[in-house]
A and B are shown apart, each in its own frame.
Chain A
């Protein structure tokens, strides 16, 4: 970290309460900007505010940022939220829990946390929130970034803001170019040469970037309402707002509550997936490929791909596919993270059985929340790991009964797994990812995710060899 950052940030006092080793390691890079105090979960200590006794720090801790982990069994996270908030009224306090059973996000916020995150699913969102908080606390010295699309940059235009690139090897953002400078073909070549498809904008400059990118979008279609980057950000944020509330049901849910959620999902689909200029259609697919997986990128990507396949081929109902895409893997939250994160081929028999339970777990959650979904949506979710030859799960025997929506969803699902960037793996361009996916599908002897004719039609949507 640069000297200026270190100086400004050493004044930031961070307090973590009851975080696991693994959580601390995952956030180490962000915490490097703070003078950190880590204490175990102890409610009496928290309420007294006299944390010095539990640490080597001589004086009392006056935190600027607090991250609270899981509560001990006999205490509720609500009570911890109230206690910590009353002890430090103006401080930014985040909660991170592994327990779905206590993850009532909205209620936790009402009880005093600034935000609450389910771990590990929302680890990415937590990290971003911490950076945003540090950015505010240091008056902008610690930078918080958001990924924008290279497709939103126009050669020959003057950039409205600085651009950074991300180096995954050391988890660092580095300066790429200044604002007020012309973006040229040479810049494009440079990005390509380094195999960079995503650039980063500081969050305080996002609004100016959106305005700049919208100007470009309007040049192509005067009816354009937002740029692709802005659409993507809003879509992901909206997905978290709704999906993040679906892991745990409040005790007394009524049909109206479920209907409200379905309405929200419909409005998200309408705003971000159905209402865009037609030239964006291939761009939406290409732009989503090769990105690192973040908290809600998978459901958002699968909904995007599935709906766009349906629209482009005029097969199945795009709204149903999108709805199923957003919801299809919710039940993964009940599967241990080591199992979820393991590549399919490396799971042992026991882990495979555990993982396969996520399909039913998803449907259970939807029922728990009284979501009134249409038959095709439920069917698509239930069948998203079935195969037309009968090798899939949970039944493995549905065969000819696979719905169009289920098959589109399944292909979209496999497509996202095949085309997302995995940390530690080489970065591939969209056309390379497409080639890889195409090859895999065409050379497959078994386990076709859908009717081979449908797979071919979808592959036909993409120009062969080059984008």
Chain B
């Protein structure tokens, strides 16, 4: 599993949902959870934060820069090629997930989800990345 001190970035334009996802992260024991209200703000955090972001959990459907756009921007930058990226989608968008897979997403999770499902997804990502990249 991810180290609990991993810096997590939760991105969602809806404040309530952002807080809920952050709470699930806290429930899982993560101690360093950051937040961003849209893709642009998320990008600037990823880009400028002195401590590297070790996990991005981003909503798909956001104004300005969508979750998919953010993913593409992150993957386009060599420095973040290995940053674990989890997309949060709604049921209606889950059919478009192939686009995200092509763009290099690590996994996706459908709202609403439980702490148990998030744990599963994070474990799958950690395993896939050889259990090392995400520290």
Contacts and interface: CB of A to CB of B under 8 A. Distances in A.
Interface in B84-101: 90-92
A111 B110 CA distance: 9
B92 A107 contact: yes
Interface in B1-53: 14-17, 19-21, 24
A83 B15 CA distance: 11
A73 B113 CA distance: 25
Interface string B37-75: 000000000000000000000000000000000000000
A31 B24 CA distance: 32
25 contacts: A46-B16, A47-B15, A47-B16, A47-B17, A78-B90, A79-B17, A82-B17, A82-B111, A82-B112, A83-B14, A83-B16, A83-B20, A86-B17, A86-B21, A86-B111, A86-B112, A86-B114, A87-B20, A89-B114, A107-B92, A110-B91, A111-B90, A111-B91, A111-B111, A111-B112
Contacts of A87: 20
Contacts of B14: 43, 79, 83
Nearest to B116: A89
Nearest to A78: B90
A81 interface: yes
A44 interface: yes
Contacts of B17: 47, 79, 82-83, 86
A74 B19 CA distance: 19
Given A86-B20, A110-B91, 4 more contacts: A47-B17, A81-B112, A83-B17, A83-B112
Contacts, number: 49
Contact of B24 (A47, A79, A81, A86): A86
A79 B14 CA distance: 9
A48 interface: yes
A81 B19 CA distance: 15
Contacts of B15: 44, 47
A69 B51 CA distance: 44
Interface in A79-98: 79, 81-83, 85-87, 89
Interface residues of A, number: 18
A222 to B, nearest CB: 47
* Range of interface residues on B (Cβ < 8 Å): 10 to 19
A279 to B, nearest CB: 47
Contacts of A110: 91
Top 10 closest A-B pairs, CB basis? A47-B16, A85-B112, A82-B111, A110-B91, A112-B112, A82-B112, A86-B112, A86-B20, A43-B16, A83-B16
Contact residues of A: prevailing secondary structure: helix
Contacts of B19: 47-48
B15 to A, nearest CB: 7
A78 B110 CA distance: 12
Nearest to B21: A86
- Between A43, A82, A85, A112, the greatest number of chain B beta carbons within 10 A of the residue's beta carbon is seen for A82
Contacts of B113: 86
Contacts of B90: 78-79, 82, 111
Nearest to A84: B112
B63 to A, nearest CB: 12
Interface in A1-56: 43-44, 46-48
A334 B2 CA distance: 52
Nearest to A85: B112
A107 B111 CA distance: 12
B36 to A, nearest CB: 17
A20 B31 CA distance: 42
Nearest to B18: A47
Contacts of A47: 15-17, 19-20
Contacts of A85: 112
A195 to B, nearest CB: 49
A302 B106 CA distance: 54
Contacts of A86: 17, 20-21, 24, 111-114
Nearest to A106: B91
A107 B92 CA distance: 8
